[in-house]
A = this chain, B = another copy of it.
């Protein structure tokens, strides 16, 4: 196996986990770290997983992308709320032959990377994984782990290279010939469940599914996503389409089986972190509008989650009891 150099930009739980698998497979993985920098330099990177714990004693930890330097691959696993910072963090690692994988949530992320670095080198990856950061330098992999990957412009050879790289590192990989379809398919779940879990005031998927009115709202939002997805696929010249009833049945069956699941967005919401509202709700809503597709349920969820995000970040006043008690 050829040793490949890989920059992991934004090594939170997801980036650290997949980066650690690649490093364990023998690659030269260079992690850009912030919170965990000192801990990883001193004690390495530790992964707890039902598939076996392991420790990278000599994990390469960096505080700037300039120190990381040019790599064969860049995996950008920043939160989408930091997308505006991605260009400056990725650029120092990119030379003409470098390929970039956007391991991030939502719609429209690869397009930004394409603007900055050219579309021909851009791939996208979606993680279906349950994972947490523990103490500095420690990642807890709880369950799942599948990565769906695709190339922005459909370069099959480059997609195969990434598939080979990841699969050889023991990852469960699905290579999608149509990245746009894969992105929308994930949004079919993320838009209703991330949206309602936050707009509903901080609730689990179980609460959404058990409440007939919220469940119906999730159903309607999901149908709007499918309609927008199919319009987008048609507009982009793809022959792929999502099957509305099939998608709905699969998503609801799967989510019913998940128990009281806390979406990534509700966790961010409850902890007061910025929400990935623009890539998960805003970009799909705007794309639908540009295509002339009416998505009032998505639009309403977008408006409310955006308001919640601004409120949590102190950019919007929320009333307290003192504000409404008559004087």
A residues bordering B, Cβ < 8 Å? Answer: 132-134, 140, 196, 199-204, 207, 211, 213-214, 216-217, 220, 262, 266-267, 270-271, 296-297, 299-304, 306-308, 310-311, 316-321, 323-326
Shortest A321–chain B CB gap in Å is 6
Q: Bound state CA distance, A311 and B211, in angstroms?
A: 12
Bound CA–CA A272/B199 (angstroms): 18
A324 & B270 in contact (Cβ 8 Å cutoff): yes
Considering the complex, give the chain B residue whose CB is closest to the CB of A212.
B303
Query: CB within 8 A of A204: which of B262, B267, B299, B319?
Result: B319
Nearest CB of chain B from residue A208's CB, rounded to whole Å = 9
B200:A308 contact, CB within 8 angstroms: yes
In contact, B200 and A262 (Cβ under 8 angstroms): no
**CA of A301 to CA of B271 in the docked complex: distance in angstroms?**
24
The copy count of this chain in the complex is 2
B266 adjacent to A203 (CB under 8 Å): no
Question: Using Cβ atoms and an 8 Å threshold, which residues of chain B touch A299?
Answer: 216-217, 220, 297
Contact B307 A271 (CB under 8 A): no
- CB of A312 to closest CB in B, whole Å: 9
Min Cβ gap A304→B in Å is 5
A262:B319 contact, CB within 8 angstroms? yes
Complex Cα–Cα for A262 and B327 (A): 14
Q: Let me know if A324 and B262 touch, CB within 8 A.
A: yes
A315 to B: closest C-beta gap in Å = 10
Additional A-B contact list (13), CB under 8 Å, known A203-B318, A220-B300 = A199-B304, A200-B307, A201-B304, A202-B319, A203-B316, A203-B319, A211-B316, A216-B299, A217-B304, A220-B296, A270-B320, A270-B324, A297-B299
A324 CB contact (under 8 Å) in B217, B266, B318, B325: B266
Which residues of B sit under 8 angstroms from A324, Cβ to Cβ? 262, 266-267, 270-271
Complexed CA–CA distance, A271 and B297 (Å): 28
A304 touches B307 (CB 8 A): no
- Contact of A201 (CB < 8 Å), options: B203, B220, B300, B308: B308
Given that A132-B326, A220-B296, A297-B296 are contacting pairs, would A203 and B270 also be in contact in the complex, using a CB cutoff of 8 Å? no
The 7 closest A-B pairs by CB, nearest first: A132-B326, A296-B296, A217-B303, A300-B300, A213-B303, A202-B319, A267-B324
Contact between chains at A318 and B202 (CB < 8 Å): yes
Contact B326 A201 (CB under 8 A): no
What residue in chain B is nearest A200 (Cβ atoms)? B307
Given A311-B201, A324-B270, are A302 and B213 also a contact pair (CB < 8 Å)? yes
Q: List 21 A-B contacts (CB under 8 A).
A: A133-B326, A200-B304, A200-B307, A201-B201, A203-B318, A203-B319, A207-B316, A211-B303, A211-B310, A213-B303, A217-B300, A217-B304, A220-B299, A266-B324, A267-B324, A270-B323, A270-B324, A271-B324, A296-B296, A300-B300, A304-B304
Bound Cα distance A319, B264 (Å): 13
A314 to B296, alpha carbons, bound, how many Å? Answer: 30
- Shortest distance in angstroms between A99's beta carbon and chain B's nearest beta carbon? 32
